[in-house]
A and B are shown apart, each in its own frame.
Chain A
């Protein structure tokens, strides 16, 4: 028998998603039948096809558009059915708590009165939207689409790193990566009990129709995008197609008599549910940023009148704030009376003097994150930082401690990854996607992001990250 392509692979003592998984046996066997050259050829063909299909995110420079694909690694990340059941239960629990939290925050605020979370953390949060106070949403669902970032530590424990409860992206890559694997590696996937993922669009539109205003028989759903210049435009197209709904931009919509319409060839046509991929700030120039060209004047009036549903709801940003995240275990216990199924990464809230002192004392061991940033920006990874970077971080912490949290440096699990014709360990995370209408459904697997730079722990696409197909295997 030929040497397996995994023979020389050494995870260097880190938790390996492939070697440690009880479900990867058949796949490892099949991989061993492939030569590294054959793997390289198929990987190159797969990446070329992604480019031709235009499964790209867009970068703009010198007024010209550059389309980049999210680099795709062909070696899948494997999850066993047991591992997945655990993750799925944990996510459903978490989203249930988040929706209860938001309903409470925008109604009676029991949680603040009971002192579970400091009131200023919620009411002083820049994503808190006072105009949501007292609005009753169908099924009390605020977060219809959630992406939960999960990492795995060196002992193999799954930990929640971040909740993305505003406009999480990446699900299009999950489905397109699978399509790519089905074309490039039919021999690998054959008959292994792989959970299918191609019903995401059907589940999404069903959930969106469930939250339509009461009494609408056949609700018209649209997807609201900032337009072709948005870096996630491909995903907006993907989702609109999967749901079979119009992809609209702000100027396509008009509000008349607190009702929302779209401009069509036949005149104005009623819109009932908007899956919006625009941040709160830009949704309605009458209510938020007045110079927004992306939004729809009067949209919030129609929303408050209950004539249109927005997904996700306005004001969900208070729930996925990095400072509020630290309280999530307590929030779960408060609303559900249960312990969290998926623990948080231990988090120190630097607005609290004790935590600030702890952070400053152990800066070189900790990861320091600004609470308001996304995309991996502004993070200082203590063990990897230079003395100068640590000094800069210290200064920023001293100047504005409330803007930061710190966490221990989790040694993320790794997965074998094809790098320059070699199989090497690279750190991965996992972003499962959950859809909630009247109840919550989680897409099996999710987006596995991989830090392609050796030793890097940052998996974001803007920072040299790629992706893998994620297989939940029976």
Chain B
């Protein structure tokens, strides 16, 4: 069964709970199993608790570069075999890296479950056995191309790098971007790979979710067979950070790019994910910019026609969060006017609670998106891993929905007033000109 719907006494909408079973190996690997037999497909998620915040000086971008190396073969898997096996099984293999985590995903027809586990056990136990300089050089080139494609060669593409750099202090793990500085990527050497692997790619630093057309008993037997022998390692000793307080002044950055109209970015430091004010800030962002009737869209795009687009967004991460508002000017519009009017709307939300209907719309949209997110098995598996790692509670699905339903208009106002202060933000304007040289 996909989701157990538990009715409540008050005939409220039922609270979804993901049906799962779990076990933990003696080496510390936590494993969750979601049985869903709708389609004959199996999914594997391996969530390693390491991201770019764990990188050391002069090695920014390394967590992500390392992620690429996990696809280049291991002790008993020649380079390329894993993708051949998984694609031949109707599936694929991929991963993503962020400041906090590196998450690997394998997909295949469910009768290839054992092959998936064999692949992942071999690379967890034996990545270094066949690792060499050539693989590092090749993937460094690929990552540099990824950076060009996603940043340098993208209109306004350098914005996120400039913002992170200004929003967080130099000695904080979110100061640099996950993609890393080219000079640091070029400086990475083979021994860095060995150190990083032995520190972070250990069973006690991972959460595994197996989902789809699988049976719990089979999964348990196979995971024990392939993973239980891998020794437990010392808990990773990682850089530790003190989360910085709010900014105490406004930081203004002006940059240029080969574009035709200016774009402005207003950024504030916010709380970490799964903390009390996260839902209120998410609702604030929806009230400001989701849909045609949202405050910023209605004023800047719909009524005054001074912006081509506007978007507000709160993203909570493990150590802290970022609240961001981005607006693209219509041709001929002064970006200062966008900044001024956005500030007015933020101040209005900070001084007066939103209308009940505004909040209801934001909450209903959130709930619908939440249910939609449960539909794809792989997304459900990744959510379960996220709850395990970041909320420390695999049963958080229902609670997550509940905390958004419980947000009040007064909380939205209070969170806006507390975090989105005019004198505690980074304001970046990218204006038409020559593409700014990258760091």
Chains A and B bind each other: no
Q: Give me the interface of A with B, judged by CB distance under 8 Å.
A: none
